Structures are given as structure tokens and as C-alpha cells.
A and B are shown apart, each in its own frame.
Chain A
Amino acid sequence: MREGARPNAVRGGGVLLAILVLVVLVPMVWGFGLAFRSNEEIARIGGLSLHTFVPVQATLDNFSRFFAAVSIGRVLGVTVFVCLSVTVVSLMVNSLAAYAFARMSFRGRSLFFGLIVATMILPIEILIVPLYRVVKDAGLMNTLASLIVPFAASGFGIFFMRQFFAGVPRELDEAAVIDGCGRTRYFFRILVPLARTPLVTLGLIVFLQQWDSFLVPVTFISRTENMVLQVAINNLYAHIYVNDVALLAAGMVIGAVPVIAVFLFTQRYYIAGITTTGIKG
């Protein structure tokens, strides 16, 4: 509240903010807390007391059960591999294109850029059926490539990096020419290091987006050995352990903790990315 606000408004606003803190935190504390109690205990919760939130007898048993049920090493390996691959490859592919659109003149530039930017308004959900057909015709069904290759470039990533490259002073180009630096070398040796902040921001957005990805892997991957974490959690519920709330809660914790940690350590970059572009992870 700015100075001079009426006390009533201040109080009303303060109450709303406090309620929202509870609305945000209480479900998470309760839900993630389920991971540390047995199913018998969860079944006895009922009513409200301290033990609605605090385990009577805390246990890590659910985590070992979850790790065994999904073969945690393989699932995490696959998930991290896919997230990192998409992040690294798309940063390279998008930056290259973004640089060309920002700083090179060539025939068809506006047309290509317009087409690429236009794809930003298309949610993947709308295109899942024809995308499935492309992936199938390319023989990529059930492969990790089906989760990586289609996301190796994006209109959003190109647009985001172009904004940065367009702002680099032209004098830098000229200095590079005078020093006899070729364009490819100029790009990799000078511009890319200069673009560290936007690259980290975009990388974070892409990584978290991939970690969150569900529609694509649930549609393209049915083989257990190529399953990513979010699908593995869902499949536990769908196939075997419908009533095993404690087990699924452990899966929820494993699914959420890494991204919460990444967010808390990098929120400066992450929020900067959102506020400059308005694109959700």
C-alpha cells in the first residue's frame, strides 16, 4: 500500500493477502505432508487437529516404495536427459535463427520471421493429433527423440532471443569487422557470451516447461523404459495403486521439489523472463 491509503483499505488488503498465503500454502503443506505418513494414518485423519498436518509417526517408507515402483533411477535419468537435451539443443537452434533475423538481411526474412512468430499462438494441445501422425510416420513413436526433436526450435525462443540480439549496439558489429572477425566467429565468440543472461532465462523457462510436460509424453510414450517422471506418477495411479495415497504423495514430492528448488535459486532470471514476454512455463 502506498502512503496515504485509508486504513480500511489497508486492512482489507492485508486480510486478503494473508488469506491468500493460507490458501496457497495450506494445501501444499497438507498434500506434500501425506508423503511422510502411512496410509493407515491418512485413513484415520478425519476432522481437524494438529495431526491433520503433522504426522503422528513420520515415515520415509513411501519414498522407498515409490522409488521401487517406478524404478526411480531410470525415470529420473530419462526425464533429466529429455529436459536437458531440449534445453541445450533449442538454445542453439533458436539463437542461431534469432541472430539471423536480428542482424542479417536476406530474401524472405520478414516472411519466415512472420511465420515463425505466428506459431506462438498455437497451443500444442490443438496440434497433438497431426503431431502424432508426423511422429508416427517418422518412426519415432515410443522413442525419446519424439519428446526432443519436435521441441528443438520454437517461435517463442526465437522471438525471445531476437529481442536481445536486436538490442546489441551495431558498433560492436563494426568493431568486429575492423578486427577481421568473420560472422560465424563473431556470433559464437562475442555475441553468445554477451547473451548469457537471456540464454539462462530462456534455458530455465524451457527446462521447467519440459519437466512439466505431460500431454506429449503421455500420448507418444507407452513403453515403460522411456517413461518420464510426470507420466510415471500418473501411471502409478492409473494402473496399480489407485488407493495408495501415501505412495502418490511421495511421487508428488519428487515431482515438485526439484522445480521448487530451481525456482527459489533462480527466480530473478525466471521472473525476468516471464515479465518481459508473458509466456508461461
Chain B
Amino acid sequence: MSAPRHTAFPGAGGIQPYLFIAPALLVIGLFVLYPVIDLFYLSLCKANILGRTRFLGLDNFAALLTSLDFANSLRATVVFMAVVVVVQTALALVVALLVESESRFMGTLRTIYFLPVVIPFVVASFLWKFIYDPDVGLINSVLQFLHLPRTGFLANPSQALGSLIAACVWKAWAFFTMIFLSGLKEIPRELYECAAIEGARPVQRIRWVTLPLLRRVLLFVIVVTTMDSVARVFTPVFVMTQGGPRGVTDLLVYYDWRTAFRVGDIGFASAVAVFMFLFVLVINLVQLRLGRERDA
């Protein structure tokens, strides 16, 4: 942040600025900053939901390393994250390049694509739960029409994670198309004209003009998608699968929640949350590092 410049008001300083920020600081301090400290503390404690806590040290983290449930949950999370980051980002980028034009028609397309982003996640989750339904689901109706065998999707251990991923990508991809579009708007028209004069074909223009100038936006999208795909997927898991079948969709964020609020072990759950946060943070730092190096 830039250094405070001369402000016009006489008697600047004093207590007034603190009165202006006090309500915000109080709320954020009590409901975000204090909980961060408490989370780290709890992760080092034997603690249950009823309130008894006893300091343990690193035992919860040691227990994580040997827990089969945790290993399963981490594996599912990594698969989910990797697929969503790659597929969703690629889809969002390609569509952004295609609907960039300011025409009315493209505007209508953008609005349609954005609808899944707008509808509540609970609603979208039930929608896809029904679409995947073995008895009345839309996809099974199509399969039956094509004389293909019906299948379980969310009920089938080998299909559930993929089905969950498809539903989540359906819900979110267009949001990132909008981010890419805002980045595309920043690219000066003259560069495209130059490229055209130099005889660049559209594909070359995208490769040598658009993509390099979009790198920072792309990096931002990848970083945000990584965090979202690990942390912001509680609702679809809760509504669609509750972590099943046989734990194949038991993503970390849901595993954390059920350990705390179904099992009651908030010490262990906090260790899961700390791990989850540091895990994403490290991946984000690596992504930013790689992205910057390429920039130089």
C-alpha cells in the first residue's frame, strides 16, 4: 500500500481513524484472526466438541500420517483438484477466446453460460443428484434410449468421483471465463492489428499475442481454482454423496467437517484443516513461482 499522503483535513490523525476501522477490526479479529490462532492451537490438542481440551503436541499430525481414512481422503482430493484445475481452466479459457466479441449474440451466450454459477450450490447439487439418479435420472434415460446399460454414477465407487467432478465443473467453469474475458479486454487492439499486418494467422495470433499477455490472469485463475477445488467443495459432497460410496468422494474438506461435527474430534479435525490449508498454500506458492519464472 502506498504511503499515506498529505490529507486535506486539518487535525489529521487523532482517534477518528481508529473509530472508523474499529467495527471491522473487531469482527475480523474475533471471527477470523482469533479462529486462525485457535485452529493451530486446537490442532495440537486432544479436544472434543463438548469443550474439553488437553495439550498434546504433534500427536494429531502423527496420527494423520498413519490414518488410512486420511490417506484415502487426500488421494481423492488430489485427483479432484488436478482434474478440475486442468479441465475447468482449459474449458474456461477456450470459451473466453470464442465469446470475446462484443456482439449481442455473444452477450446472450455469456449470460446463459453464467446461469450455473448463479444458482445456489445446494440447488445445483440436488439437480445433479437427480440427473445421475439410477432410476429416474436424465443420463440413465439417455443411456436407455441408446440401448446402453443403466449405471449408478454417484452410487458406483468407480464413477462417483468423476461424476462429482463433472457436476462441479458444470457449476463453476463460466465464472473463470468471465475472469479471462476481463483479462482479454485489457489487451490493446493495436497489437492484434500489428499481428494481422505481419501476416499472423488467428491461431498464431492467439499463441504469440493473446496467451503471453494473458499469463498473469491465467496464473490467477489457476491459483484460485486450486484453492476452490480443495476448500470450497463442502456443499456438493455433503448433498450428493456424504463422502461415499466406500469413501471415494470423501474429500478433505468434508472429512474435516465430519470428523469435527459427526465424530466430535475437533483436535484431529483441526489438524486436517491445518494440513489442508498448508497443502494448498504450498501448491499456490509453487504455481506462482513457476509462473513468475516464465515471465522473466
Contact = CB atoms under 8 A, between A and B. Distances in A.
A31 B127 contact: yes
B24 interface: yes
Contacts, number: 293
B158 interface: no
Given A16-B94, A129-B39, A183-B9, A104 B17 contact: yes
B28 A119 contact: yes
Contacts of B16: 104, 183-184
Contacts of A233: 122-123, 126
A90 to B, nearest CB: 9
Given A27-B128, A30-B138, A46-B144, A219 B24 contact: no
Interface string A191-233: 0000000000000000010011011001100000000001001
Contacts of A177: 8-10
B121 interface: yes
B276 interface: yes
Given A45-B136, A134-B34, A150 B112 contact: no
B98 A150 contact: no
A30 B224 CA distance: 31
A259 B123 CA distance: 11
Nearest to A181: B9
A116 interface: yes
A230 B112 CA distance: 23
Interface string B124-148: 0011101101011010011011000
Given A27-B138, A133-B38, A96 B122 contact: no
A88 interface: no
B276 A126 contact: yes
Contacts of B174: 24
A106 B127 contact: no
Contact of B136 (A42, A94, A128, A280): A42
Given A109-B4, A275-B182, A99 B114 contact: no
Interface in B223-264: 224, 227-228, 231-232, 234-235, 238-239, 253, 256-257, 260-261
A60 interface: no
B99 interface: yes
A189 interface: no
Contacts of B99: 17
Interface-centre pick from A25, A212, A259 (highest chain B CB count, 10 A):
A212
A34 interface: yes
B296 interface: no
Interface in A110-142: 110, 112-116, 119, 121-123, 125-134
A9 B205 CA distance: 13
A20 B115 CA distance: 12
Contact of A129 (B12, B25, B269): B269
Contact of A263 (B114, B181, B261): B114
A215 B234 contact: yes
Contact of B39 (A114, A126, A212): A126
Nearest to A154: B28
B8 A174 contact: yes
B179 interface: yes
A274 B175 contact: yes
Contacts of A174: 8
A230 B109 contact: no
Interface-centre pick from A28, A104, A119 (highest chain B CB count, 10 A):
A104
A276 B34 contact: no
A107 B259 CA distance: 43
Contacts of B26: 153
Contact of A127 (B23, B39, B196, B234): B39
A255 B123 CA distance: 7
A245 interface: yes
A276 B144 contact: no
B276 A155 contact: no
A127 B28 contact: no
A255 B122 contact: yes
Interface in A251-281: 251-252, 255-256, 259-260, 263-264, 267, 271, 274-276, 278, 280-281
Contacts of B232: 123, 125, 280
Nearest to B274: A126
Contacts of B253: 125
A23 interface: yes
B270 A129 contact: yes
A260 B112 CA distance: 11
Given A104-B17, A218-B238, A252-B127, A129 B273 contact: yes
8 contacts: A17-B109, A25-B115, A96-B20, A104-B13, A116-B25, A125-B253, A128-B257, A267-B114
Given A104-B20, A152-B27, 6 more contacts: A20-B113, A96-B20, A100-B17, A123-B232, A128-B260, A267-B111
Interface of A: 1-2, 4-6, 9, 13, 16-17, 20-21, 23-28, 30-32, 34, 42-43, 45-48, 52, 93-94, 96-97, 99-101, 103-106, 109-110, 112-116, 119, 121-123, 125-134, 149-155, 158, 170, 173-174, 176-177, 183-184, 186, 208, 211-212, 214-215, 218-219, 230, 233-234, 237, 245, 248-249, 251-252, 255-256, 259-260, 263-264, 267, 271, 274-276, 278, 280-281
